[in-house]
Amino acid sequence: MTYQSRIKAVRWVRRASQGGFLLFFLWTLVAARHPESGQPSALLGGFFLFDPLVMAATALAAHALPLALLFACATLVLTLLFGRVFCGWICPLGTINTMMSALRKPPANVLVSTEQWTPWHRTKYYILAAMLVMALFGSHAIGYLDPFSILYRSTATALLPGTQYAVEEGATAIYHADPHAGPVHVTSLTEPVYQFLRKHVFIESRQSFEGSTLIVAIFAAIVLLNLVRKRFWCRYLCPLGAMLGLFARRPLVRLVKNAEDCRQCGLCKTNCQGAADPDKPEEWQPSECMMCLNCAARCNWGAGTFELFPPWKKQEVAPLDLSRRMLLGSGVAG
């Protein structure tokens, strides 16, 4: 089995992981609405326990660290070993962005020019600095930009209630109209589905939340921006991605480029989800690499491989080169 065949198989494992974690996240939301115990599902907070951004913000704001949040250290260790694998394999919002990015089909010349690292990638680091300074002074504003908070808030207060409204209104309209073709009634198909959703998914009576329009507008903007750049939120704005990027500067597993085998076709560059410049050995950005493995899987000549790099083995990587002035400005703004 060739290296490329193995990496393609691992890429399918990555896709399965993304889908599994997204479905698990949505399931915890449905479980949280279950009325039997009257209490939210204990699994609902699981994602937040492994969120190092929540851990850091809580520690700064409360000047204490709940022991439960130490689970987030596992995410940091994972990042030190494998880079931003959390972003590429686990994050549910990242998975939604990946799926939406697949719909982006720009012309080849536009694709090449947009799928490369730019100084705008640094924006998320300045956002992270501002959020942490705000947390230091007791603010919990990080909840507005944490990816788990965004997805939970959008789904629980807007998407799920909106879906419930649409399904209930649609099922009611079909029930009253009772369309049929001969002896076959449409309601014989729609009613079992509606009753299942009502019993196992919606459960609660119809709900509405103040501010849900703004919440869904922000979520829609995050999703639609993927049509401008692949994983736009993850590349330029996500503070959790920025924090993990700082820990992913020199992971143990890194991309190695064989310049002799490279044909300069650009396939690795145009398929990279993070615009980490995998086509440039000296300028590869490990802090932007989400370990999607697309670059190695799409290279027909085996010029790019992921290999184990012990800490003492040097490899040139592009510096973050964050502006001290911008960092100071972000802190003051926070």
Q: What is the pLDDT of residues 32-87, one digit of tens each?
A: 765 555 555 667 778 888 999 999 998 888 887 777 778 899 999 999 999 999 99
Quote the distance between the C-alpha of residue 39 and its chain's center. Answer: 28
Does 200 fall in a domain? Answer: no
Asked, for residue 175, whether it belongs to a domain, the answer is no
Domain annotation covers residue 210 = no
Identify whether 157 is part of a domain. Answer: no
Query: Can you give the pLDDT at residue 198?
Result: 81
Across 25-39, 91-105, 111-125, least confident range:
25-39
Separation between Cα atoms, residue 206 and residue 165, nearest integer Å = 7
The pLDDT assigned to 318 comes to 61
Please choose, from the candidates 148, 170, 156, the residue with its C-alpha nearest in 3D space to the C-alpha of residue 203: 156
Residue 164 lies inside a defined structural domain of this protein: no
**Contact yes or no for 272/292 (Cβ under 8 A):** yes
| Residue 139 domain flag | yes
CB 171 within 8 A of CB 191: yes
Centroid of chain to Cα 320? 21
For residue 4, give the nearest of 315, 294, 285, 216 by alpha carbon.
294
pLDDT tens track for 218-239: 999 999 999 999 999 999 999 9
| E strands, 31-82, in order | none
Closest among 66, 72, 69 to 240, alpha carbons compared: 72
Give, in degrees to the nearest 5, the angle at Cα 299 between 297 and 300.
Answer: 110
Number of CB atoms found within 10 A of residue 239's CB = 24
Alpha-helical segments (H) within 63-141: 72-82, 85, 92-101, 108-114, 123-136
Residue 272 tokens read as 């990279």
In a domain, 45, yes or no: yes
Which whole-number Å values give the CA distances from 119 to 123, 312, 323, in the listed order?
8, 29, 10
Weakest mean pLDDT among 26-35, 114-123, 143-152, 277-286: 26-35
Q: H/E/C letters for each residue in 244-271? A: HHHHCCCCCEEEEECCCCCCCCCHHHHH
Percentage with pLDDT > 70 across the chain: 88
Give residue 115's domain range. 3-149+217-308
pTM here?
Answer: 0.87
Contacts of 230 (CB under 8 A, 6+ apart): 101, 104, 115, 273, 275
Q: Is the pLDDT of residue 24 over 80?
A: yes
Beta-carbon contacts of residue 110 (< 8 Å; ≥ 6 apart): none
Provide the pLDDT confidence category of residue 199 given band limits of 50, 70 and 90. confident
Residue 242 domain flag = yes
DSSP 118: -
Tokens for 292, please give them. 């999607």
Per-residue pLDDT reduced to its tens digit, 297-330:
888 888 888 988 876 666 666 666 665 555 565 5
Cα distance between residue 14 and residue 292, in whole Å: 7
Report residue 35 as tokens.
């009325």
Q: Where are the beta strands (DSSP E) in the chain?
A: 180-181, 184-185, 253-257, 304-308
- Name residue, tokens 């972000």: 330
pLDDT given for residue 100 in this prediction: 95
Number of folded domains that form the chain = 1
What does the chain come to in residues?
A: 334
Using the structure block, give the residue that is written with the tokens 């995410």: 75
- The number of beta carbons lying within 10 Å of the beta carbon of residue 15 is 14
Residue 183 has pLDDT above 90, yes or no: no
Q: Centre a 10 Å sphere on the Cβ of residue 300 and count the other Cβ atoms it contains.
A: 9
State the pLDDT at residue 90. Answer: 96
Quote the DSSP letter at residue 124: H
Could you read off the pLDDT of 25-39 as tens digits, one per residue?
988 888 776 555 555
